[in-house]
C-alpha cells in the first residue's frame, strides 16, 4: 500500500516511518511534487488535520493522511494549543516558541500539560480521525537535543526524561503522535 503523509516536516516523517509496517510505503509532499505550504486555518487541531488531508485528496488525488499537534498547558488556559507551531510568530521557530512558553510559565506552580495529535486519513472515499494524547509537565528549562518542537521542555508522565532526552524508540513508546499512528496502523491492518 502507498500512502501520502501530508507533511514537509522531516522529523515527523522519520517518527512515523519508524512506526509503519513494511507493507506501507510512505510518501511525503515533496515526493508528489507538492511544495505548497498547506494552510492551517481551522480553529481546532482536528480541523487542521482534516484541512491538510482534504487538500491533498481533493487537489492532488492521493490517498493520504495528515496530522496536527498541539501542546495544551493548564496554567496558560490551554495555550499554545492550535497555535503551537506559530506561538512566537508566523515564522514557526521552535526555539522562539519554547522561549515564549518558558517566559509565560515563569512563576507558575501548575506545570501540567498535554500533547494532542489528530491524524485525518482520507482513504477509499472515507475520512477517519485518530487521536493520541500524552500528559506530562513543562520543565523549567530545556533538556536534551533529540526531537523537535517543544520536546526539550516536555517531560511525559512516568518518565524522568524530556522527549528531547529520549531515543526515537523511547519516545515512540509514549508520545501522542505514536499513539495516534498506532490507531491508524490498526485501522489499515483490517
Given 46, 63, 67, 68, which residue is catalytic? 68
CA–CA dist 136, 121 (Å, integer): 27
The answer to whether residue 31 is catalytic is: no
Distances (CA, A) of 16 to 13, 20, 46, 181: 5, 6, 18, 7
Q: Is the peptide bond before 80 cis (omega within 30 degrees of 0)?
A: yes
What are the beta bridge partners of residue 130? Answer: 119
Grid coordinates representing 77 are 488556559
H/E stretch holding 3 reads strand 2-5
Active site residues: 68
Amino acid at each position: 500500500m502507498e500512502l501520502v503523509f501530508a507533511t514537509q516536516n522531516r522529523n515527523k516523517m522519520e517518527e512515523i516511518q519508524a512506526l509503519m509496517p513494511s507493507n506501507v510505503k510512505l510518501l511525503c509532499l515533496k515526493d508528489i511534487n507538492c511544495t505548497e505550504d498547506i494552510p492551517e486555518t481551522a480553529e481546532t487541531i482536528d480541523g487542521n488535520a482534516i484541512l491538510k488531508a482534504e487538500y491533498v485528496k481533493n487537489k492532488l488525488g492521493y490517498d493520504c493522511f495528515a496530522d496536527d499537534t498541539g501542546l495544551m498547558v493548564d496554567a496558560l488556559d490551554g495555550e499554545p494549543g492550535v497555535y503551537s507551531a506559530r506561538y512566537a510568530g508566523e515564522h514557526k521557530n521552535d526555539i522562539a516558541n519554547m522561549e515564549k512558553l518558558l517566559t509565560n510559565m515563569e512563576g507558575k506552580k501548575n506545570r501540567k500539560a498535554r500533547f494532542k495529535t489528530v491524524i485525518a486519513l482520507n482513504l477509499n472515499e472515507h475520512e477517519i480521525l485518530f487521536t493520541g494524547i500524552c500528559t506530562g509537565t513543562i520543565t523549567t528549562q530545556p533538556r536534551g537535543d533529540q526531537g523537535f518542537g517543544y520536546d526539550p521542555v516536555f517531560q511525559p508522565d512516568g518518565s524522568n526524561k524530556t522527549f528531547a532526552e529520549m531515543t526515537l524508540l523511547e519516545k515512540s513508546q509514549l508520545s501522542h503522535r505514536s499513539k495516534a499512528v498506532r490507531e491508524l496502523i490498526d485501522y489499515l491492518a483490517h
